[in-house]
Each structure stands twice: as C-alpha cells, then as structure tokens.
Structure 1
Amino acid sequence: MRTSLSRRLRQAVANLMEIPKDAILDLPRITIIGGLQLYVENHKGIVEFTDHRLRLALNQGEMIILGKHLVVKSIFSKEILIEGEIDGIQYVH
C-alpha cells in the first residue's frame, strides 16, 4: 500500500511540474533504431542472455527482447545498447 501511495504521489508531482515520468518514476526509456539497435535506460541488470533472447530486470517487471544475432555492445549501471535483428520487445509486469 505504501509503495502505491508513493508511486501515485511521484506521478502527481511529475504531472504538476511537467517532469518526464521516466525520470521521476524510474521507468525504462526505450529507443529503437530500425530494428537493428535497441537502447534501454533505467534497467536493473541482465537476467538472461542468448544470441536470440535478452531479459532485462526493470524496477517493476522485466523486458524481453527477441531477435537474431543479439549482441550487447555496451552496458552501464542503468543503460544498455543491444545490436542485432530485433524482432520483438515484451514487457512483463
């Protein structure tokens, strides 16, 4: 219950102050370039990685990236760049 109230409060503040929700709510920001590159901000780490599937932990849930010849080109504490043939992205709550 406390988490829900805190989240609603942060969302109200973001709306009121016109702050991007990804910044205040720690949501993932995803940039995809032509199905060949995927950049994700605000991830919590790699859960599973193969050349056709990548699972990223998020603040709430996971993101699953499906494709072929997937490669992690760079990874930092909250940012990751993936290259390959990206076929799909799933968000699992």
Structure 2
Amino acid sequence: MKKFKTKMSRWLTTKMELPADVMMDLPRITMIGQLHIYIENHRGLLSFSDTELRLLLKQGHLLIKGNSFVIKTILPEEILLEGKIQQVIYIDQA
C-alpha cells in the first residue's frame, strides 16, 4: 500500500505540476553560500552543537556539519541556521 501511495504522489506531482516537496512530504533546503541554510518540512531537531546539526525527516535524517553554528530561527517545521557550512548530508533510512 505504501508503494502505491508513493507512486500516486509522484504521478500527481508530475501530471499536475505540483511542487514535489509539498506532495511527497520532502524537505526544502535553501542555502545562501556557506553562511545560511534554511530547512522547511523537517520532523524535529535531533541534536545540535556549534559544529553539527541533525534533523529528523520523514524518511531519514539530515546532517549538517561545519563550525560556529547558531540557530537563528526554529519553528515546528522550519529552521534557520547560521555559521560556516561545510557539509550537508542526507542519511536515508528506508
């Protein structure tokens, strides 16, 4: 049933030209250089330090590495992180 739902979401997204992040519950990640990263549609903050941020996603985690991190804004499904971003890693957990 889950595969059918995923296939149907992809089909609707393609045929109706709807944003994939909305239809498939995917995160939207916006980076401005190495200084800011804005993540929408996450499921919660798992860990935070001045060198690492880990967010829970619907399927997996998002790991951001760097230094001098400061959370500027945090809302239930949005976060704005400032600092020197060196890596953004998507960890898939099927």
Q: Per the shorter chain, which TM-score range?
A: over 0.9
Q: Which amino acid aligns with 2:88?
A: I
Look up the match of 1:37.
36
Structure 2 runs not aligned, ≥5 long: none
Look up the match of 1:73.
72
- SS across alignment from 1:67: strand
Post-superposition CA distance 1:8-50 (Å, at most 9, x none) = 1011011110001001001011000010000001101111111
Structure 1 runs not aligned, ≥5 long: none
Post-superposition CA distance 1:44-73 (Å, at most 9, x none) = 111111110100000110000000011111
User: CA separation in 2, counterparts of 1:79 and 1:4?
Assistant: 27
- SS across alignment from 1:47: strand
* TM-score normalized by the length of structure 2: 0.95
Look up the match of 2:87.
88
Q: Which amino acid aligns with 2:81?
A: I
Detail structure 1 runs of 4+ shifted over 3 Å in the superposition: none
User: CA separation in 2, counterparts of 1:82 and 1:3?
Assistant: 33
RMSD: 0.6
